[in-house]
């Protein structure tokens, strides 16, 4: 739905449902022009734009009446999503302790993750996203995690082949630890992922086709389901781009966001530094993958653009 749609063949109610989906990941404030640009309709013929404006106006009126969106002060024609959900924080009983988790490329030395956090590895083709997530699964099996691995591309035979790349491992060795579970799943992960502070959820990978603005809403629904679980998500990225598909929407709920091109990792965002005086945002690290499973750091993390 990124390309303009002919208003004579698209049902108005399909558009209203589509706008409801868009609203989940809407920016802080928006108007009709913003919506048209977000949906890729700005270059449509003038008669299409008139029809789109009519439908969007009707949708805005419905949502204002229903209390889903609110007008923004005295800014004529501007709105914001009205989120009425509010839960008081239990600060007294909060643990405050980061989780014990192994991350590749010594990332655990630079960042901390807390219960309920999402981390993202956004990688271009052949950057090693699956290898990174499988290593996370392997290295954390001996900890107190209940690990759930969701693959959108690999069936059981291919998954078995990947698991047995490690010389010391067979599929039976992986599964003799009852805390490791694999599933073939391509979407709506919020419907199936478990929640709770002992759960480690690995999504390989989160697919988004065409309407990339939806990525933010997809991640938010996963985040809302975690209830203390840790979720690490792999997403696709175009080579040379900083952000994965979904742009900055894919960063919004993540506490750690790593971009990966073949042989190079880049920390796009990190919220909880292990050393408060050293923000690793913008750090680069080169790596190699040997035999399809072994991740080797070629150099240490350093400020992007520097060579060591």
| pLDDT-wise least confident of 75-89, 145-159, 182-196, 285-299 | 75-89
Q: Does domain 104-303 have CATH number 3.40.50.300?
A: yes
Among 261, 274, 269, 200, smallest CA distance to 230 is for 200
Residue with tokens 């697919």: 207
Residue 58 parent element (H or E): helix 46-65
Average pLDDT of every residue of the chain: 86
Q: Which helix (H) or strand (E) holds 51?
A: helix 46-65
Is the CA virtual torsion 290, 265, 122, 236 positive or negative?
negative
Task: Give CA–CA dist 224/208, Å, rounded.
Answer: 19
pLDDT tens, position by position, 177-209 = 789 999 999 888 999 999 999 999 999 989 876
**Span 232-251, average pLDDT:** 88
pLDDT confidence tier of residue 22, bands split at 50, 70 and 90: confident
CA dist 155 and 132 (Å) reads: 18
3-state secondary structure labels for all residues of 105-125: HHHHHCECCCCCCEEEEEECC
Q: Quick one: which of 107, 297, 294, 129 has its CA closest to 206?
A: 129
Check residue 308 and give its pLDDT: 39
pLDDT at 175: 78
Q: Decide which of 272 and 18 is more confident.
A: 272
Query: Could you give the CA distance from residue 134 to residue 140 in angstroms, rounded to a whole number?
Result: 10
């Amino acid at each position: 739905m990124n390309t303009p749609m002919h208003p004579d063949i698209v049902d108005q109610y399909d558009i209203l449902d589509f706008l409801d989906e868009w609203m989940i990941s809407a920016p802080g404030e928006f108007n009709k022009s913003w919506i048209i640009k977000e949906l890729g309709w700005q270059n449509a013929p003038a008669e299409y734009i008139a029809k789109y404006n009519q439908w969007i106006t009707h949708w805005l009126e419905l949502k204002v009446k229903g209390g889903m969106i609110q007008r923004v002060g005295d800014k004529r024609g501007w709105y914001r999503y009205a989120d009425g959900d509010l839960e008081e924080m239990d600060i007294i009983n909060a643990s405050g302790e980061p989780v014990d988790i192994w991350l590749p490329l010594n990332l655990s030395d630079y960042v901390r993750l807390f219960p309920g956090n999402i981390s993202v590895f956004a990688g271009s083709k052949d950057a090693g996203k699956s290898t990174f997530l499988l290593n996370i699964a392997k290295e954390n099996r001996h900890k107190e995690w209940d690990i759930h691995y969701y693959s959108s591309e690999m069936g059981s035979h291919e998954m078995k082949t990947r698991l047995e790349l490690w010389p010391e491992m067979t599929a039976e060795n992986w599964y003799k630890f009852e805390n490791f579970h694999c599933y073939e799943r391509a979407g709506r992960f919020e419907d199936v992922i478990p929640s709770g502070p002992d759960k480690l959820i690995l999504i390989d990978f989160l697919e988004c086709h065409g309407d990339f603005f939806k990525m933010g809403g997809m991640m938010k629904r996963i985040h809302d389901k975690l209830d203390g679980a840790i979720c690490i998500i792999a997403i696709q990225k175009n080579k040379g781009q900083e952000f994965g598909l979904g742009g900055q929407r894919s960063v919004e709920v993540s506490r750690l966001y790593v971009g990966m091109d073949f042989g190079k990792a880049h920390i796009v965002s990190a919220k909880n530094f292990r050393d408060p005086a050293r923000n690793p945002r913008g750090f680069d690290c080169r790596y190699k993958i040997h035999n399809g499973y072994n991740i080797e750091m070629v150099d240490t993390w350093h400020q992007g653009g520097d060579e060591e």
